[in-house]
Amino acid sequence: MWESLVTDVLIWQSAPLHVVHYERLVNNTDLYLRGMLHFLRVPEDEERLSCVSSHLAGPVKSVDKKAVDPFTSSEKMKIAKAVDRVNRLLLLLGYPVIASSQKT
């Protein structure tokens, strides 16, 4: 469903799109948040950006603290193939691509 949604938006959306990949957002939160705010024409609020920057690390607040991987090896392979197909479309359309999820 994710692949279908992303593909439809990339192909059929007439409004401008701003593609942000999770990994890049996590690795450089301030830069990518500022880029999203600029794209959306939302004024930057330094106090809020500072607050976000001060809460990037630490435990996620959840009831169950155990790390559980909900995906089987087969599901992970299907996800990696979907990411690769979306990457090819992103590349074709001139957007940044997602870091490869397949282990070689």
44-87, pLDDT tens digit by residue?
Answer: 999 999 988 888 876 655 556 666 788 999 999 999 999 999 99
Q: Please, what is the average pLDDT of the chain?
A: 86
- For residue 7, give Cα distances in angstroms to 1, 52, 74, 90: 10, 30, 22, 9
| Predicted pLDDT at 55 | 81
Is 98 a domain residue?
A: no
| Predicted pLDDT at 94 | 92
| Predicted pLDDT at 103 | 42
Q: How many domains does the chain have?
A: 1
Is 104 a domain residue?
A: no
Is 33 a domain residue?
A: yes
Is 28 a domain residue?
A: yes
Is 63 a domain residue?
A: no
C-alpha 32: how far from its chain's center? 11
Is 65 a domain residue?
A: no
At 104, the pLDDT band (50, 70, 90 cuts) reads very low
Is 89 a domain residue?
A: yes
Range of the domain at 36: 2-8+16-57+70-93
